[in-house]
């Protein structure tokens, strides 16, 4: 079964074709990051307008890259939330129109759940076994940070979440404070490479007795360092900040996975592209770690198509966007 996925929840206009939830046939992503970089963050109206312009060429490119015609496509999957309302609306409207015109079913997908499904995609044609249930999954993106227990497809329970900033949001805000540009995650990772072991020690909020995390205190600590007398170089602060975020996320995820008796750990979402997070979690987790290539960690439509195959939640013409949809919702 070939599913065409469509993703427009934030600032990537993406379309992809995935066969049977696992085989990647095409993956096209038009990023608006350069455009929003001028403003230091994603401007919702600008994002929606850009999606409108890019959407159909991106869908056509996904079909061409896969060598598929419309007659090869069995269903269309689309992210209906969470995300920016106007941005989501473009993807959902286009998915509905195409499904109606081509007379094929369309499937609604939760963006956060989709991030987890990047780990089901077989990128290099090797037939690896799928991740084994039960799984503990960490979803770390620009807008969300959730730790979930996944007993089976569609059986998700949130164990913990951020009490304030999402991990990606913290990376973006700290990068802005340090004048490193947008998006902040890759900029901080890059700057931190120059520092083998930071001397600066920033605080960690452990939120003991819960699987929750919190990054606003860390962000404020960075602000005080930056505004203090003779602040260390930006690279030193970036490395220390990254070390603190990675330390908390890796320790809490590994502990939850062990406690829940999981068979493996899934790392997903844009921040999962971060090298030190991938390495530290792999080293600290007593269980096998599944993490996709960085291109499938940040927003893409292949994860949407993969998720749709396993979840098959057919949507009706009255499907609306849900900007604040929770991870185990909808
Ligand atoms: O999942 P995603 O592409 O979009 C949302 O659903 O939000 O995540 C974007 C977030 C941004 O905050 C970005 O700074 C962060 O992921 N990110 C990274 C890296 N690449 C992207 N954070 C840390 N290290 C990276 N290499
Ligand atoms: Zn995302």
Question: Cα of 18 to ligand 1 centre, how many Å?
Answer: 23
Question: Cα of 73 to ligand 2 centre, how many Å?
Answer: 24
Note the ligand closest to the C-alpha atom of 277. 1
Residue nearest to atom 23 of ligand 1 (CA): 185
Reduced 3-state DSSP string for 83-133? CCHHHHHHHHHHHHHHHHHHCCCEEEEEHHHHHHHHHHCECCCCCCCCCCC
For the purposes of burial, counting CB atoms within 10 Å of the CB of 127, is it exposed (0-12), middle (13-18) or buried (19 or more)?
exposed
Mean pLDDT of 100-128: 94
Mean pLDDT of 228-240: 97
Task: Provide the pLDDT for residue 125.
Answer: 78
Per-residue pLDDT at 53 exceeds 70 = yes
What distance in Å separates the CA atoms of residue 95 and residue 154, rounded to the nearest whole number?
22
Is the model more confident about 156 or about 329? 156
271 lines ligand 1 (CB under 6 A): yes
Q: What percent of the chain has pLDDT over 90?
A: 93
Task: Tell which one of 177, 271, 304 to mutate to probe ligand 1, the residue whose CB is within 8 A of the most ligand atoms.
Answer: 271
Domain 2-123+296-311 coded CATH 3.90.76.10: no
Do 2-123+296-311 and 135-291 share a fold? Answer: yes
- What are the tens digits of pLDDT across the range 104-117? 999 999 999 999 99
Mean pLDDT of 291-311: 97
Question: Cα of 68 to ligand 1 centre, how many Å?
Answer: 30
The label of the residue with tokens 């929003």 reads: 36
How does the average pLDDT of the chain come out, rounded?
Answer: 96
Per-residue pLDDT at 171 exceeds 70 = yes
Name the band, by pLDDT with cuts 50, 70 and 90, for residue 48.
very high
Ligand 1 atom, smallest distance to 12 CA: 3
Task: Provide the pLDDT for residue 50.
Answer: 97
Per-residue pLDDT at 328 exceeds 90 = no
Residue 105 vs residues 72, 77, 78, 110, 315: alpha-carbon distances, Å: 13, 9, 11, 17, 8
Task: Tell which one of 8, 137, 171, 187 to mutate to probe ligand 1, the residue whose CB is within 8 A of the most ligand atoms.
Answer: 171
What distance in Å separates the CA atoms of residue 43 and residue 41, rounded to the nearest whole number?
6
Question: Cα of 100 to ligand 1 centre, how many Å?
Answer: 33
Per-residue pLDDT at 127 exceeds 90 = no
Mean pLDDT of 200-205: 98
Name the band, by pLDDT with cuts 50, 70 and 90, for residue 212.
very high
Per-residue pLDDT at 329 exceeds 80 = no
DSSP designation for 231:
P
- What are the sequence ranges of the domains in the chain? 2-123+296-311, 135-291
11 lines ligand 1 (CB under 6 A): no
- What are the tens digits of pLDDT across the range 250-271? 999 999 999 999 999 999 999 9
Task: Tell which one of 142, 174, 250, 294 to mutate to probe ligand 1, the residue whose CB is within 8 A of the most ligand atoms.
Answer: 142
Name the band, by pLDDT with cuts 50, 70 and 90, for residue 330.
low
Question: Cα of 232 to ligand 2 centre, how many Å?
Answer: 32
Residue 203 vs residues 18, 169, 183, 221: alpha-carbon distances, Å: 42, 17, 23, 7
Q: 299, 317, 328: which is closest to 106 by C-alpha?
A: 317
> Which CATH homologous superfamily contains domain 135-291?
ATPase, nucleotide binding domain (3.30.420.40)
Per-residue pLDDT at 178 exceeds 80 = yes
What's this model's pTM, rounded to 2 decimal places?
0.97
Mean pLDDT of 63-85: 98
Mean pLDDT of 24-46: 93
Residue 118 vs residues 82, 130, 137, 157, 220: alpha-carbon distances, Å: 17, 11, 12, 18, 33
- What are the tens digits of pLDDT across the range 187-196? 999 999 999 9
């Amino acid at each position: 079964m070939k599913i065409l996925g469509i993703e427009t929840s934030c600032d990537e206009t993406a379309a992809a074709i995935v066969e049977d939830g696992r085989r990647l046939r095409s993956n096209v992503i038009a990023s608006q990051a350069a455009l929003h970089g001028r403003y230091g963050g994603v401007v919702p109206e600008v994002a929606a307008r850009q999606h409108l312009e890019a959407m159909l060429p991106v869908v056509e490119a996904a079909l061409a890259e896969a060598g598929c015609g419309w007659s090869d496509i069995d269903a269309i999957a689309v992210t209906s939330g969470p995300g920016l309302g106007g941005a989501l609306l473009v993807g959902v409207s286009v998915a509905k129109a195409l499904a109606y015109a081509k007379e094929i079913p369309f499937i609604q997908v939760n963006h956060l759940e989709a991030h987890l499904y990047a780990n089901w995609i077989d990128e290099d044609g090797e037939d690896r076994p799928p991740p084994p249930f039960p799984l503990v999954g960490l979803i770390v993106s620009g807008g969300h940070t959730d730790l979930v227990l996944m007993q089976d497809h569609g059986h998700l329970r949130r164990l913990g979440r951020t009490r304030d900033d999402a991990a990606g949001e913290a990376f973006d805000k700290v990068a802005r404070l340090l004048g490193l540009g947008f998006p902040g995650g890759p900029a901080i990772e890059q700057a931190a490479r120059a520092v083998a072991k930071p001397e600066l020690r920033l605080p960690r909020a452990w939120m003991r007795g819960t699987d929750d995390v919190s990054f606003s205190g860390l962000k404020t600590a960075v602000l005080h360092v930056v505004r203090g007398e003779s602040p260390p170089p930006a690279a030193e602060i970036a490395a220390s900040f990254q070390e603190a975020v990675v330390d908390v996320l890796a320790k809490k995820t590994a502990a939850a996975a062990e406690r829940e008796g999981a068979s493996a750990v899934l790392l997903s979402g844009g921040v999962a592209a971060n090298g030190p997070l991938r390495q530290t979690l792999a080293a600290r987790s007593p269980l096998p770690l599944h993490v996709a290539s960085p291109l499938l960690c940040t927003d893409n439509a292949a994860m949407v198509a993969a998720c749709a195959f396993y979840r098959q939640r057919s949507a009706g013409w009255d499907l609306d966007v849900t900007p604040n949809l929770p991870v185990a919702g909808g």
